[in-house]
Amino acid sequence: MLPKNRGNGPNTGNNLPPPPGGTDTAGRYAATIGEALRRGTGRGREAAKRLERWTGASNRTVRGWLAGTRGPSGEHLIILASHSDEVLGAMLRLIMHRGDGKTADLAVARRLMVAALAVLDAADSRPSQDGRR
């Protein structure tokens, strides 16, 4: 049996180089969503269990989200945003933030809000699980 790699072996290629301009988009994404999850659900075992139930993700994955070291995938992010206003708000802040430190203009914000309202209106007009609106 071979010994475990203690960090002195060859690069396995799992880490991507930083994007041009030096911004760490993935790190900022993970940290922002992790902060929102901690604000909305807390830090303890119960918070992790709640996120596991919502998403079906493993405990290890959820702990990475809560720590802010890994961000949820698209499918999990949508589920989390549907359960947590904090995550939805964090998503909107990330979307509205441009790489140059400025926020997107009001026209873009207005279009996003109109689209969000259309989604809410469509969801509100559908019957619920028990047949009521």
pLDDT number for residue 31: 95
Q: Find residue 62's DSSP bridge partners.
A: none
Give the span between the Cα atoms of 28 and 84, in whole angstroms: 19
The band of 92, judged by pLDDT with boundaries at 50, 70 and 90, is confident
Residue 4 reports pLDDT greater than 70: no
Residue 1 reports pLDDT greater than 60: no
Residue 88 reports pLDDT greater than 60: yes
All domains of the chain, ordered by start, with CATH? 25-125 (1.10.260)
Summarised one tens digit per residue, pLDDT across range 118-129 is: 888 888 776 666
Alpha helix ranges (H) inside the chain: 25-41, 45-55, 59-67, 74-83, 85-96, 106-125
The band of 66, judged by pLDDT with boundaries at 50, 70 and 90, is very high
Residues 80 and 54: beta-carbon distance below 8 Å? yes
pLDDT number for residue 98: 63
Mean model confidence pLDDT for the chain: 80
Residue 96 reports pLDDT greater than 70: yes
